Amino acid sequence: HGTCVTTLHPRCYGQDSYAPQQEVGDYFRSVLDLRAKFDVFQALNASGIVPTEPETGRRPKNTYTLVQFKQAIRAAWGVEPNVKCIGRRLQEVQIWFKVRGRDNYYPVDPWGQDTCRLISYQQKSTK
């Protein structure tokens, strides 16, 4: 979740170039840049994995396997994600990164645990 980004710690800026709270804006810029560069929705869609509308009281139209999700991300960036669900409902797809220097992020294989096997990938509700 980005809380371990030590390269944005104030001491990494140098005494003469740091302004108070500068790391906060830099952190959010970094997160948004990574989100744009590693577009999980687009990677899943390119592999034919698309969300379906939730149906009240019914099982979703499309379900996918953990293998399908992992293959889609590996095809896009050469690493596997962690996939987290509550029951079968998709909660998040995590891509893990390391950093070279201050802001050269690159994806790496995960060291967390998956919590899904069969995945219900539903559109987000606006209700």
Q: What is the pLDDT of residue 58?
A: 66
Q: Give me the pLDDT at residue 93, please.
A: 95
Residues 98 and 105: their CA atoms lie apart, in Å, by 6
Give CA–CA dist 72/52, Å, rounded.
17
Tell which wins on pLDDT, 110 or 10. Answer: 110
Nearest partner of 2 among 77, 95, 104, judged by Cα: 95
For tokens 């906060």, what's the residue?
Answer: 24
Report in angstroms the alpha-carbon separations of 22 from 4, 10, 13, 18, 29: 17, 8, 9, 7, 11
Q: So what's the pLDDT on residue 21?
A: 77
Structural Rg of the chain based on CA atoms? 18
Q: What is the mean pLDDT of residues 5-10?
A: 63
Contacts of 55 (CB under 8 A, 6+ apart): 61
Predicted local distance difference test score (pLDDT) of residue 124:
74
**pTM > 0.85: yes or no:** no
Tens digit of pLDDT for each residue in 90-110? 999 999 998 887 778 899 999
| pLDDT tens digits, 22-73 | 778 888 888 899 999 999 999 999 999 999 876 666 666 778 999 999 999 9
